Structure 1
């Protein structure tokens, strides 16, 4: 019985580590504003949207702050009009953000409890480093190969409506959120995961020594 419990805890520990790093990578990427600021020039967002750089940043920063806010604030872009459907979509994205926060906290708690139960679990980071490459990369590679199809599949998977299909006339915010930006986000997430996997591998080797 103890052997089965130990194996289950090992599996839970590894899964928790993977979830923790994956969610941290996602959260960091979408809060890393320099990436978006680079995209403003790279994707000619000023020309495409007809907005000044300061207005673009103002509205983007508002969206990010809204998603990160723990309060039930009403969605209200500072200088862009938006439809009821657009408002609902951003609220649904915020719910996903909150769910990620809950999973993040639970994963961290599981990792700490498992290490308190058995400090040798730290050596399982080696297994986590391998799975950290296999699982997220398996998910992200389709995004890199065929981003358009994967982007559509992602939205159909997580949203029960088509409110994410913005009409630029009703929700011009879509003009400052080009698909290239989300593609570059996927690349950064992948890079962070690769670096994290390498760090875990090096850490376990040093611990063994």
Structure 2
């Protein structure tokens, strides 16, 4: 009997650790998509780094090009990216296609998790191991994973964002097409590294807020 209880406890703990990991990935995914669509961040970047003067394009023209990119990255029915005011090399096209694939996977993951969650809520009373799922523990585990991730990434940013940014690209992409040549891909001139650092910080803020919310919920209901 004691062994059965111990095994049951271990199984429940294991299930909630795994679900916590999936939920942490869900939180990060949501944060990435929200941040991607916060176009005012790019508008602020234009003013902050004088991108309009540097590129000889108006703020409105730069924003229009940026919105074209955002729509392309998230719309599965758009096969080809073209900028109204920028030429693009074949390598540039391939890189943006690879970036688009990443965002497609993120959106699919979010959609699948939400569908599975909806199905679970509807039929959890029929699931044999539904009692093993503890929402408060899942959220607490997710928060713990997020806090570890947040600490690691923020330290990397503070120590050397440029090296972290380059390492990220080397890990994610199997080629060097992300090393844009401004002579053939001038879009890189209006997408400075500082912009991606700001986006990274905003993503981290969103996931930290979710982690803190999960912790508050855990301590209030435990």
Q: TM-score, normalised by structure 2?
A: 0.85
Residue of structure 2 equivalent to 1:162: 176
- Which consecutive residues of structure 1, in runs of 5 or more, have no partner in the other structure? none
How far apart, CA to CA, are the structure 1 residues paired with 2:72 and 2:193? 20
How many residue pairs match? The answer is: 208
Residue of structure 1 equivalent to 2:207: 193
How far apart, CA to CA, are the structure 2 residues paired with 1:89 and 1:200? 36
Matched, 1:144 2:158: yes
Q: Specify the structure having the higher radius of gyration (Cα).
A: 2
Matched, 1:135 2:149: yes
Residue of structure 2 equivalent to 1:202: 216
How far apart, CA to CA, are the structure 2 residues paired with 1:157 and 1:108? 28
Residue of structure 2 equivalent to 1:123: 136
TM superposition shift of 1:64: 0.5
Deviates more, 1:164-173 or 1:99-108: 99-108
Q: TM-score, normalised by structure 1?
A: 0.90
How far apart, CA to CA, are the structure 2 residues paired with 1:177 and 1:58? 14
Matched, 1:25 2:31: yes
How far apart, CA to CA, are the structure 2 residues paired with 1:178 and 1:120? 44
How far apart, CA to CA, are the structure 1 residues paired with 2:207 and 2:159? 18
How far apart, CA to CA, are the structure 1 residues paired with 2:163 and 2:110? 28
TM superposition shift of 1:133: 0.7
* Structure 1 residues 140 and 105: CA distance shift in structure 2, 3 A: farther
